[in-house]
Structure 1
Amino acid sequence: MYSVGSSRVFDPYVQVIQNANITQYIWTKSLLQPLWDYLRSQHQDALRSPLFPVVISVSTYFAVCTFYMILDLLAPRCPLIRRYKIHPEQHVTWEDIFKTLWHTGYNHLIYVFPAAVGQWYWRPPIPLQEEAPLVSEFLIGILGCTILFDFQYYFWHMMHHKVRWLYTTFHAIHHEYYAPFSWSTQYLSAWELVSVGFWTTIDPIILQCHCLTGFTFMVFNIWISVDDHSGYDFPWALHNLIPFGLWGGTVKHDVHHQKPQSHFAPFFSHWDWLCGTHCECKRSPAVLEMQTKRRKASEDQN
């Protein structure tokens, strides 16, 4: 499915890493081979099924959303959790959960599932390569798919805000919530849900990634998307770990729901910087406190 011919898009980049003598064994040996052998021998039929991408996407979405839902329900009675909410005064209710969950389930049942079943009639089973991807190929592939998806979604998202008909017809439903929460991630029109799912599926094919890389990117994409909508600003979140503000994360997407003409990018920050759609972000009380302490400590040292 994800490889075309004998050449790969990322071969030149993998070769550079291999020649850099950086942990040679990791970059030249397929550490993922035992895992891939197990999956091929024990779950080959499932992996080759056209329904498998839908199964892993839906199961990942429900698992990650459930985790954040538990935090949301505990937050009003647990100050330790509430301190990491960007809007600690906002509480997620069962009504919000049922409303968004029903809409998501409806879209999957009426649109996504029939489309997935329809693939049985026109799409052949996915061919599974015998060799697992190199760790370098695996990581670069996920990074490449993330960058490509970020580019696609930025301009698609911006267009749905700039063209009023697109906004009112398709995108307005997603902005019903001023402060997003996990289950609002796929509180979308069917058009948006199908579009995002199409790119997530097709990008690994465009970049000629290994099957394992493509499936992992799907899981990563959904996890990050839910995290962006979670409303939590944890110190260990990617936007607080990746330097120079390169990663958008929860705080920037939260601003997008208050200022819809800003922060269109789903993951990175560079397109918002280049196109002038970047603005300041609100942080959680806990992270603000940490930043204040660091600033004071730095001033005392100087």
Structure 2
Amino acid sequence: MLVGNSTVSAGTYWNQFEEVSKYNADLNVAERLWVAWYAWMQNDVLATGIMSFMMHELVYFGRALPWIFIDSLGLLKAYKIQGNKIPSLREQWNCAKFVLLSHFTVELPQIWLFHPMAQFCGLSTSVPFPSPWTMAYQIAIFFVMEDTWHYFSHRALHWGPLYKAIHKIHHQYSAPFGLAAEYASPIEVMILGFGSVGPPILWCAITGNLHILTMYIWIVLRLFQAIDSHSGYEFPWSLHHFLPFWAGADHHDVHHEKFIGNYSSSFRWWDYLLDTEYTPDALKRRRENKGLKSSKAQ
């Protein structure tokens, strides 16, 4: 990446940042930090790979950490959905070890290959950054696309042979907790992970308009969504109370408890449209419809 009139590394990262700032006063601090990173690394694949993997680990375990404390200290018990099933520290630790192994053996190679694949599709890593509006509408599209992929692939994974061979591992915990969001077999990690990475890559390939920062913000929000939906806690301020079509923890917790229905990740509409909701209202609606069909048949 060209910085000023030179691509030569300027010693430490902060030396590089000072060098970048001399020639790029029109950029904001975040953009100068970004340019300095790529200039200092002198290798775009390495720069993106390290940044992507570290971001994923810090966000995943950082977001799961509060739930570990809440469960371990017995806080907020009144809001625990399955109050009689609190994960022990041993369960949390065993889950963390499994997830870490998966991150280093399954996800790290994919993250490392992300930059060359994304560049081939036209993903931008340059500055200035896209506008907040551009990032917002693109991320909204990614949420819808990922939810659609997740619903149909997740539902397929509940088919007998696929469930036993692949998806059963994820259902080891009938009362989920934050760390268990990515507790899954390597095959499932790749199948459902494609729903997070695939939509941005497809969007970029079609439109040629996507910045890697947008991709990062999308992944951060997706990780937050996945961890929160596995948290096992339902609050009066939970998002679905304000956005009725949002799924949330109460939607996914039932899926783990009953092993059926509620296949979507972020939204409720696919479960509603295809009648795979597992809620009191949905069960009542099915009983009423079944009663109507029985009375017509007589």
Same fold (TM over 0.5): yes
Q: Residue 36 of structure 1 contacts residue 132 of structure 1 at CA under 8 Å; is this kept in 2? A: no
Provide Cα deviations, 1:198-254, integer angstroms capped at 9, x if missing partner.
Answer: 332232222233222111000000011000000011222222221xx2001000000
Alignment of 1:161-180 (within 5 A): 161-162=158-159, 164-180=160-176
The 5 Å alignment of 1:1-302 reads 34=28, 36-44=30-38, 48-75=47-74, 78=75, 81-117=76-112, 127-162=124-159, 164-208=160-204, 209-242=210-243, 245-280=244-279
Is residue 157–residue 264 contact of structure 1 (8 Å, CA) maintained in 2? yes
CA contact (8 A) 1:101 1:183 kept: yes
1:42-62 deviation per Cα after TM superposition (whole angstroms, max 9, x unaligned) = 333578523432221222111
Residue in structure 2 matched with residue 7 of structure 1 by the alignment: none
One-letter amino acid matched to 2:228: D
1:73-95 CA deviation, whole Å, 9 max, x = no partner? Answer: 111xx4xx111111222222012
Structure 2 unaligned runs (5+)? 1-26, 205-209, 282-298
Q: Which TM-score applies when normalising by structure 2?
A: 0.74
Offset at residue 116 of structure 1 (A)? 3.8
Contact 2:150/2:264, CA 8 A, preserved across alignment: yes
Structure 2 partner of 1:29 = none
| Structure 2 CA distance for aligned equivalents of residues 123 and 140 of structure 1 | 20
Number of matched residues? 243
State the distance in 2 between where 1:281 and 1:54 align.
41
- The one-character-per-residue Cα deviations of 1:234-275 (angstroms, maximum 9, x if unpaired) are 222222221xx2001000000101222210000100000111
Q: Indicate how the Cα distance of structure 1 residues 153 and 122 shifts in structure 2: closer, same or farther if over 3 A, else same.
A: closer
Preserved CA contact (<8 Å) 1:252 1:281: no
Q: Distance in 2 between matches of 1:62 and 1:264?
A: 24
Letter in 2 for 1:161: H
SS of the counterpart of 1:88?
A: coil
Unaligned runs of 5+ residues in structure 1 are 1-32, 283-302
Which entry has the higher C-alpha Rg, 1 or 2? 2
Looking at structure 2, the residues matched to 117 and 111 of structure 1 have their Cα atoms a distance apart, in angstroms, of 11
What is the CA deviation profile of residues 84-136 of structure 1, one whole-angstrom value per residue up to 9, with x for unaligned ones? 11122222201211221121122122222344446688886964232322222
Q: Verify the 8 A CA contact 2:35 2:126 in the aligned structure 1.
A: no
TM-score (norm 1): 0.73
Distance 1:191 1:281, change over 3 A: farther
**Helix, strand or coil at the partner of 2:182:** coil
Change (3 A) 1:127 1:159: same
- Note the C-alpha offset of 1:186: 1.2
What percentage of residue pairs aligned between the two structures are identical? Answer: 25
Amino acid at match of 1:93: S
Q: In the alignment, residue 49 of structure 1 is paired with which amino acid?
A: T
Paired letter, 2:220: V
Q: Tell me: higher relative CO, structure 1 or 2? Use CA pairs within 8 A at least 6 residues apart.
A: 1
Residues in 2 aligned to 1:66 and 1:281: alpha-carbon distance in whole angstroms: 32
C-alpha contact 1:229 1:250 (8 A) present in aligned 2:
yes
For residues 111 and 212 of structure 1, what CA distance do their matches in structure 2 show? 23
